[in-house]
């Protein structure tokens, strides 16, 4: 996408690029439908079986399980189509960024682990450091400065100004 093509924007490309054409820049071939289809088949089966256990009720008084079973059956049918659709042809997908994926999720996870145990300031500090790890253009000292800045501002904004129920730092 670096060499901007003014007449074809990313959005329009997604709509117009059919599976037969070559993958565009930043896209990779994928068989996403197989994985996605299988996942949806599994998920819908859980809701169908669970729905039967909850009870379907009678038409006049639909039971707790009726709606999950109805929607589950539709999802099941559609996901079978999705599965076979992708077996026939090759799809394309966005090129994944696994490093960013892991860094962001790890940042959220660390924030979750430390927010109550250590307080907001350390949690925000750690989350910023971890989230910024994949970016090599920012030197470690820059990351630390950014983390100090963000945790200080969130202390002022969320605890002092908005009174959110965080503790700035929990002392053991």
CB 132 within 8 A of CB 146: yes
**42 in contact with another protein (CB under 8 A):** no
CB of 57 to another protein, least distance (A): 9
**Residue among 123, 122, 129 nearest 144 (CA):** 129
Q: What residues between 8 and 27 interact with another protein by CB under 8 A?
A: 9-12, 14-15, 18-20, 26
Q: What residues between 144 and 163 interact with another protein by CB under 8 A?
A: 146-147, 150-151, 154, 158, 162
Alpha carbon distance 107, 65 (integer Å): 38
For the record, the structure tokens of 92 come out as 């394309």
Alpha carbon distance 121, 117 (integer Å): 11
**101 in contact with another protein (CB under 8 A):** yes
Interface with another protein (CB under 8 A), residue total 85
**140 in contact with another protein (CB under 8 A):** no
**121 in contact with another protein (CB under 8 A):** no
CB 132 within 8 A of CB 110: no
CB of 80 to another protein, least distance (A): 10
């Amino acid at each position: 996408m670096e060499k901007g093509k003014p007449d074809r924007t990313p959005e329009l490309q997604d709509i117009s690029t059919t599976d037969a054409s070559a993958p565009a820049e930043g896209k990779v071939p994928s068989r996403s439908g197989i994985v996605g289809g299988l996942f949806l088949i599994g998920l819908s089966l859980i809701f169908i079986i669970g729905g039967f256990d909850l009870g379907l009720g009678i038409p006049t008084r639909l039971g707790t399980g009726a709606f999950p079973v109805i929607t589950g059956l539709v999802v099941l049918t559609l996901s079978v189509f999705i599965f076979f659709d992708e077996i026939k042809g090759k799809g394309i997908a966005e090129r994944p960024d696994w490093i960013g994926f892991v860094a962001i999720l790890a940042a959220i996870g660390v924030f979750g682990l430390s927010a109550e145990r250590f307080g907001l300031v350390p949690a925000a500090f750690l989350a910023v450091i971890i989230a910024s790890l994949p970016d090599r253009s920012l030197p470690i000292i820059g990351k630390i400065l950014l983390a100090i800045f963000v945790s200080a501002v969130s202390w002022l904004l969320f605890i002092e100004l908005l009174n959110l129920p965080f503790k700035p730092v929990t002392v053991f």
